[in-house]
Amino acid sequence: MRIEPKQIQLVVSKAIVLLRTGTDLVSLEVDKPSPFPPEVSTQPLSMSFEVRANHGVEYCRANFGVEPEVIDARTHLKRVPYSR
């Protein structure tokens, strides 16, 4: 069974790019309701996807026309050795 594509419109109200070791993680908050009942969450729908390393900010600007908040979570911390 083939599903016909359908065009939808989403308004991005917030974009966050998490810079990680490896791919960037982009999270968008859009103008659709939460997929959960109101007693669980009244926040709007959010969705996340991965983008090529160090290209998340550029991707948000080019494809959504938004300036994202950027969180740099790349390892600046020293690894803690395993101990019992």
Q: Which sequence spans correspond to the domains of the chain? A: 12-34+42-72
Q: Report the half-sphere exposure of 13 (CA within 13 A, side-chain side).
A: 9
Neighbour-count burial for 25-44, b at 16+ CB within 10 Å, e otherwise: bbbbbbeeeeeeeeeeeeee
10 SS3 class:
coil
What pLDDT is recorded for position 1? 87
Query: Distance between CA 55 and CA 15 in Å, rounded?
Result: 14
What pLDDT is recorded for position 81? 59
Rounded average pLDDT per 10-residue block, the chain, 84 residues: 92 97 96 94 96 97 97 72 56
Instruction: Give the pTM.
Output: 0.81
